[in-house]
A and B are shown apart, each in its own frame.
Chain A
């Protein structure tokens, strides 16, 4: 384990020095992008991606008996039948008849923890985002379950009226400008080839490669945070940078946004957990 971690860190330091070196020299962006591409390929190796530690922990959590009922999550239905994990993530968010609403993976897991296990979900919410010395059950479970859709393509037919409605809400939220800086998601993610500082920004409103690669690579191990992050965290962090108040974890608006983005990414292949800066 230690070896894997060290290798990832070494790669990161190397890439940082490469990028830094390029900055300090000439105004031509030389081959910074190419060097970063090499670096990304290098760290994308599952053997050096610490995100797979979350996958392993998630696998254990899935079958561990917990909560007041002392049962595992193995009867939880993520849309493909009780306990069926293969391909479930590729078809989420989706409408769930038993709850009467559209849910993403985290909302659904949360619901299963409450209904099936009667688990202390206050603790789950407290640890929703991992930190130093604090594992997140959600990040572990999402990494494990999403990984079971690797090689598959996103598929959200929006067959149910509630799914159509959630998509429409997501599209409106994506363009909703508000608060301190007048930002919306579209401020950064509605055109091709734009950057914030040196960071490339994917165009998420145009179906195609950029949005497919973005959505197909979450959950991801974020080197800068030393944590595996889910789409809930990504959207939380986007709103943080947009200077809105903190959006409520697992709120339906975040699921609607996710559904909108997954629909834009339809046909995109899932390879997770990936590893990013």
Chain B
């Protein structure tokens, strides 16, 4: 997985080179005014889902390639946000997990209030049966098996789902737990989808 990230970072660096040479500076106050005019007020009930936090700022500014010191700063900040289940059990029900992984609904400004889906398949291959999967993230087929189904690996995976940036600063993956996008039970179920030996992900 690390390899994929390094490769992705390299590709991004290469691609952004094309626009970098004629990139003029933007006055922060102007930018602030522009975004304020795009989103003049926080919709009712959206207080917790609207953010431009320090990590988002830094990742945006560095085009997701933070220099060493910023990388370390983000990582430390994000690690501090991760909350594990009180009883320490990070594994839920993989069958429920596969439903959550397939569900891409919820959270948009045209959705009624509902439980959000994790939409894992939008970016990842998981099992071999689901052919409609995206390629923005690496394939997760055999994820748990390749990690020997080790409990500490399952715990690290729960942390990754909770806050991907605690593992890889400026990762493209949403911070599902940090933003309260998914519930604790949903994150446990998705972790089980990756780590249960019976899960199709490991077949």
B49 and A169 form a contact (CB under 8 A)? no
Greatest chain B CB density within 10 A among A27, A196, A207 is at A196
Cβ of B75 to closest chain A Cβ, rounded Å:
15
Given A172-B31, A177-B59, A197-B121, residue A243 in contact with residue B133 (CB < 8 A): no
Cβ of B203 to closest chain A Cβ, rounded Å:
14
Query: How many contacts A-B (CB < 8 Å)?
Result: 142
A12 CB contacts on chain B under 8 angstroms: none
Given A182-B56, A244-B39, residue A175 in contact with residue B23 (CB < 8 A): no
Given A187-B136, A195-B135, residue A27 in contact with residue B128 (CB < 8 A): yes
A182 CB contacts on chain B under 8 angstroms: 56, 59, 165, 174-175, 179
- Chain B, range 58-90, C-beta contacts under 8 Å to A: 59-60, 63-64
Looking at chain A's contact residues, is the secondary structure mostly helix, strand, loop, or mixed?
mixed
B122 and A197 form a contact (CB under 8 A)? yes
Query: Chain A: which residue is nearest B62 at the CB level?
Result: A175
Cβ of A140 to closest chain B Cβ, rounded Å:
23
Cβ of B180 to closest chain A Cβ, rounded Å:
9
A256 CB contacts on chain B under 8 angstroms: 34
A175 CB contacts on chain B under 8 angstroms: 60, 63-64
Partner of B131, one of A23, A173, A254: A23
Using C-beta atoms within 8 Å of the partner chain, give the interface range for chain B. 35 or more
B156 CB contacts on chain A under 8 angstroms: none
**How far is A254 from B35 in the complex, measured between Cα atoms in Å?**
10
A241 and B108 form a contact (CB under 8 A)? yes
A18 CB contacts on chain B under 8 angstroms: none
- The answer to whether the Cβ of B200 comes within 8 Å of any Cβ in the partner chain is no
Binding site for B on A (CB under 8 A): 23, 27, 164-165, 167-169, 171-173, 175-184, 186-188, 190-199, 201, 203, 205-207, 240-241, 243-248, 251-254, 256, 264
Going nearest first, the 3 A-B pairs with the smallest beta carbon separation are A253-B38, A180-B49, A181-B174
List 23 A-B residue pairs with CB atoms under 8 Å apart, sorted by A's residue number: A164-B24, A165-B24, A169-B31, A172-B26, A172-B31, A175-B64, A178-B50, A178-B56, A181-B174, A182-B175, A186-B64, A195-B134, A197-B132, A201-B136, A243-B108, A245-B43, A248-B37, A248-B38, A251-B34, A253-B35, A253-B38, A256-B34, A264-B19
